[in-house]
Structure 1
Amino acid sequence: MRTFLAIGLSVILLAHASALATNQSKNETEKVEGQFEESGIKEYTLEELLGEDNVTGIAALEAANEKREKMKEEESSATTVASSSGRILGGTAVTEGQHAYNVLVVTVPYSGSDITCGGALLSTQWVLTAAQCVAGASSITVYAGAVGTPVDSGTSKSATAKIHPKFVRNFALNDIALLKTATPYTLGSLISTIKLSTAGTGSMENAQLRTFGFGPENNDAAIGETLNFVDMSNVKKATCLSLTADFFVVYPANTGCLSTAVATKGWCFGDTGSPVVYTNDGDSSTKVYGVNSQFLGCSSSYPSSYTLVGPYIAWIKATTKLTVT
């Protein structure tokens, strides 16, 4: 059985996977406190999604995978594009005390290299991030309170993960997780919390969203020195799917898309799990609208995806016992 390459730069999905995601999350908001139980991390093969006799579909996905690997090789040889302003392309460095809910998440997996991601502090002990960042972790460390050299100057705390029970790793379905630190953070000017947005995609079309990342400046580093932010347009899902059609990509249900332009704006590895936030012009409140999930090349023109938090509010409340909205 041929298995499909896991997350990395992207997850390649066809309509079968999209339908699977829809069925899995269909009753999410109907869950009530006490019904959430962590389950094993699921993975699916191509044959399970497409059927072993679907030679055409499998060949198309394999061709798209080859295209993606070629794109990855081209980007590895063009590090000057990414190093201009860190892995958040076309971004701006965050100043001390600004967006102080951002944290760095460093995961040591049971096998493989360390994983670095972003996250958002929801309370003194709870952090929101992407499930792919912490799945299979042997240890997790959260660094808060620093916008530069977070591992050296940030306040570090060990954490445990609550991964969404319907997360499917190799297709990034329900790519959301909560971390609980061993001890609480002390809030202040350098460490703050943020609420979650319940807004749906329909009311947010073409809105300007902001995302962040500690992504490294080039492919040789694991962690960047500075937290950067970038403002990007929220792309209508139908437009997003049209733009990624030639790459055989269908981002899963409960995801949104951020527009990119070649080598000018976007996010890359090291920035996964970071919050995607929206500031309401009416009351100037800033809330987390999603968390970074997938991207098709650091400097490609394909839109990246983020996991919407709205469909998971019930699960987040039941898990944390917090008022998060």
Structure 2
Amino acid sequence: MRGNSIPHVLGMGLLLLTIACLLPTPTESYAIGQSKFGRIEKFPYQVMLIGKQLWRKRILCGGTLLDRRWVLTAGHCTMGVTHFDVYLGTKSVEDTEQLGGLVLRSNKFIVHERFNPETAANDIALVKLPRDIAFTARIQPAALPTRFRHDQFAGLSVVASGWGAMVEMTNSDSMQYTELKVISNAECAQEYDVVTSGVICAKGLKDETVCTGDSGGPLVLKDTQMVVGITSFGPADGCETNIPGGFTRVTHYLDWIESKIGGQRHHQHHPYGSDNLI
């Protein structure tokens, strides 16, 4: 799995997970390691964002549906973007109509006021949909953690999903997912010098990881639809490693999210059972 927009390699060996998305072109391989292809019914909160940049390139990012009007994503996914084509309820661009998915165009998004692309600090943004959407079996919001749940999640299993690829994606590339384990920020800080209280890190048992194209996508607690992370950064020397991925820690930004979308949220969630994910 990976992320989009122009890759930004930082001095500390950190890569914001965004890539140019030129559709259609051949795809050869993916960087999610031991990933599996996912059915959108198991990830109804997963959103695909194809952003149009000022210099006429398109970028691929993921997002998490929060309610009928708002999508959570990474701040760096908005860099240079004039508008997004937002795909909901589909596992690929090609299958959107067949699966009863939805495509909306949005030019309204809010980036954290203190987002810093050089350090990936405050790497969070919200995309506002042009109208309220109807929920279906394939389009459902994720749950935010409660503001009283500020535990670190270290040692817990989580699931990352997205369309990240090592090369440009095609219309038929399907969503993938993988299971990771949250590590402590102290352990993660041994790999990156940008780890703060606003970051949560997770790594795979083998070579599983997020990578270019997965930016902005959800990290949820396994067997739930509770989003605890937003895919943000990974190792600059390649994603086929066992180096942890960095995610924006959602619990750290609950007040910020609430201040932007407030009472406009519609709480309507479908519970997940143990067979819903891995």
SS at match of 1:286: coil
Q: Note the alpha carbon deviations across 1:186-223, whole angstroms, 9 max, x for none.
A: 11111111111243353x1111011101123x424366
C-alpha distance 137-220 of structure 1, shift in aligned 2 (>3 A):
closer
1:200 aligns with 2:146: no
SS at match of 1:290: strand
1:107 aligns with 2:57: no
- Aligned match of 1:306: 247
Q: What runs of 5+ residues in structure 2 fail to find an aligned partner?
A: 16-26, 268-278
SS at match of 2:34: coil
C-alpha distance 150-222 of structure 1, shift in aligned 2 (>3 A):
closer
Matches of residues 107-256 of structure 1 in structure 2 within 5 Å?
107-111=51-55, 113-149=57-93, 152-153=96-97, 154-159=101-106, 160-198=108-146, 199-202=149-152, 204-216=153-165, 218-221=166-169, 225-242=173-190, 244=191, 249-256=193-200
The whole-number CA distance in structure 2 between the counterparts of 1:255 and 1:183 is 31
8 Å contact from structure 1 (residues 288, 309) kept in 2? yes
In structure 2, give the amino acid aligned to 1:134: T
Deviation at 1:314, TM superposition (A): 1.1
- Aligned match of 1:319: 260
8 Å contact from structure 1 (residues 126, 181) kept in 2? yes
Q: Note the alpha carbon deviations across 1:64-85, whole angstroms, 9 max, x for none.
A: 68xx8xxxxxxxxxxx9x82xx
The whole-number CA distance in structure 1 between the counterparts of 2:115 and 2:76 is 9
1:292 aligns with 2:241: no
Identical positions, percent: 24
Matches of residues 259-270 of structure 1 in structure 2 within 5 Å?
259-260=203-204, 264-270=207-213
Q: Note the alpha carbon deviations across 1:124-144, whole angstroms, 9 max, x for none.
A: 110000010013211111100
Deviation at 1:225, TM superposition (A): 1.1
Deviation at 1:311, TM superposition (A): 1.5
Deviation at 1:10, TM superposition (A): 5.0
More strand by share: 2
- Point out the structure with max Rg over C-alpha: 1
- Aligned match of 1:33: none
Q: Note the alpha carbon deviations across 1:113-154, whole angstroms, 9 max, x for none.
A: 311010010011100000100132111111001113367534
In structure 2, give the amino acid aligned to 1:166: R
8 Å contact from structure 1 (residues 108, 138) kept in 2? yes
Q: What runs of 5+ residues in structure 1 fail to find an aligned partner?
A: 1-5, 14-63, 69-79
The whole-number CA distance in structure 2 between the counterparts of 1:226 and 1:135 is 25
The whole-number CA distance in structure 2 between the counterparts of 1:266 and 1:140 is 25
The whole-number CA distance in structure 2 between the counterparts of 1:107 and 1:314 is 27
8 Å contact from structure 2 (residues 119, 194) kept in 1? no
- Aligned match of 1:277: 220
1:94 aligns with 2:35: no
The whole-number CA distance in structure 1 between the counterparts of 2:196 and 2:43 is 28
In structure 2, give the amino acid aligned to 1:190: R
8 Å contact from structure 2 (residues 120, 194) kept in 1? no
Q: Note the alpha carbon deviations across 1:233-268, whole angstroms, 9 max, x for none.
A: 1011111112x16xxx43344101111466x31111
TM-score (norm 1): 0.68
8 Å contact from structure 1 (residues 209, 277) kept in 2? yes
More helix by share: 1
Q: Number of aligned pairs?
A: 244
The whole-number CA distance in structure 2 between the counterparts of 1:313 and 1:324 is 16
The whole-number CA distance in structure 2 between the counterparts of 1:266 and 1:313 is 25
In structure 2, give the amino acid aligned to 1:127: V
In structure 1, give the amino acid aligned to 2:221: Y
The whole-number CA distance in structure 1 between the counterparts of 2:194 and 2:11 is 7
- Aligned match of 2:21: none
The whole-number CA distance in structure 2 between the counterparts of 1:230 and 1:266 is 8
In structure 2, give the amino acid aligned to 1:290: G
The whole-number CA distance in structure 1 between the counterparts of 2:119 and 2:95 is 30
TM-score (norm 2): 0.78
